[in-house]
Each structure stands twice: as C-alpha cells, then as structure tokens.
Chain A
C-alpha cells in the first residue's frame, strides 16, 4: 500500500502552503507501476513548498523516476515484500531527495556509462544514472546499513 499523505480537513481555512508540506516521507512496494504516482506526490509537495515549477516539471520528475526505477529493479529486484522509500526536503543546499532500497548498494561511478558514445548509442539500457547526473546538481550514493541515493538540485 502507498502511504498516501493526509491533506488538511476540507473545513480548514489553511492554504496548502501553510501546512507542513516538507519534509515528506513516502514508502511504497517495489512495483514499477507505483513510480509515476510516487513522483507526482513528491513533486506536488515540493511545488507547494515553493520550489521552482519548471525544475520540478522536468529535471526532478525524470531524475526521481530514474532513482525509483533503479531502487525497484536493481535494488529490491522487484520483490514486492521490499519497500522503496523516498524523502524530500528543501535545505540550504536546495531540494534534496533521498531514495532508499533494501538492496546491496552499488558503485555510482562504476555503474555510470556514457550512453552518448557511439558504441553505446543503440543500447536499450544504461541511460538512467547518466540522466540523473545531468539533470541534478549532485548525485550521491550511500551504503550505510541501507542503500540510499541522494539527489540535490539547487533552487534556481
């Protein structure tokens, strides 16, 4: 089950930005069919928190989709008994998204190919980490008892 956020009661006079939209913490089963909805939930929260709309519309949507896909497909090997977790926050560094899975982790540099090289152009895979790195300002991988990828995008 996706733990959907609970909005304020309909009778509340509070505008959306007045309730605590961030930090946001979402967990869902390792099924790629949840990815689009999870991305929309995170983007909605970040938009409500005032993060620039254009960056959310493209860079964040694509990069977060990649991170969640990798967590499900390669981290949790599509085991629906394993959860994927994503957190979103805005800090001094900008928008910080963290994606956690229950896999063994990976080496970010070793796994990042250059899909623009002629010999890679016809490959069907191998563009995910490359896109994350091109669309976000910073991509980090942390294996510290759990496997986590942190995406950071400065507010522009």
Chain B
C-alpha cells in the first residue's frame, strides 16, 4: 500500500495503491496536508489501483475535503470500482464528494 502524488497541470493527482484503511490513513492525510502547505489547491484522488477502503479511510477523505475547502481548494475522486461505489452510496458520501468516472473527466471538471 502506498500513495503516489504527481502534478497534471495545476492538479495534484494522488494515486492510492492497495488499501486505504486504518493502518495507513494518516500517511495519506499527511501527504495531502504537506501539499496544501506548499500551496497546492486542486486535488484529485485516483482509486484505479485501490483494493478496499474502510471507515477510517472514508473519514480521512472527509477530513481532507474539509481542509482543502477551508483553503479555498477543490477535491475530486475518480475511478471507483463497483465495490467502492457501493461503499460511498451506503454511507451517502457520494452526495458529499464530486466523483468522476475517469481521470480525464475529473481533470476537465476543475
């Protein structure tokens, strides 16, 4: 499990490889907070290589969403598989986040 961050234009793309769960959620949070400190404001979290997410992972995404908004930024999510879509629907977090089907569509939406 790891998190890779790279820039596409002015968007910070965060790739979640493996799981986003209780054991690594703080690592993701800190990496994004560091980018906010560096002045980044547009974030896209790409789940194309993600296995599963637990409630801690969802909680970190909610936390980051609030933090990014406080700094005048935007957060998008993309490439959720059917199981991850179910997770967001069950928790109604699909109503909180802007979720795009593909990375290209997500990048266009900023």
Residues of chain A having any CB pair with chain B under 8 Å: 32-36, 57-58, 61-62, 65-66, 69, 72-73, 115-116, 121-128, 130-131, 134
Q: Apart from A36-B19, A65-B54, A69-B21, list 4 A-B contacts with CB within 8 A.
A: A62-B52, A65-B19, A121-B96, A131-B54
B93 within 8 A of partner (CB)? yes
Q: Is the interface of A mostly helix, strand, loop or mixed?
A: helix
If A124-B62, A127-B55, A128-B54 touch, whether A65 touches B22 (CB-CB below 8 Å) is: yes
Q: Residues of B within 8 Å of A, CB-based: how many?
A: 27
B residues near A34, Cβ cutoff 8 Å? 23
Question: What is the number of contacts between chain A and chain B, taking CB atoms within 8 Å?
Answer: 73
In the complex the two chains form, what is the Cα distance from A123 to B58 in whole Å? 10
A70, chain B: closest CB distance, angstroms: 9
Task: Assess the A116–B21 pair: CB atoms within 8 A.
Answer: no
Using CB atoms, name the residue of chain A closest to B90: A134
If A35-B23, A66-B55 touch, whether A127 touches B91 (CB-CB below 8 Å) is: yes
Task: Assess the B52–A58 pair: CB atoms within 8 A.
Answer: yes
A residues near B95, Cβ cutoff 8 Å? 121
- Report B27-72 residues with CB < 8 Å from chain A CB: 51-56, 58-60, 62-63, 66
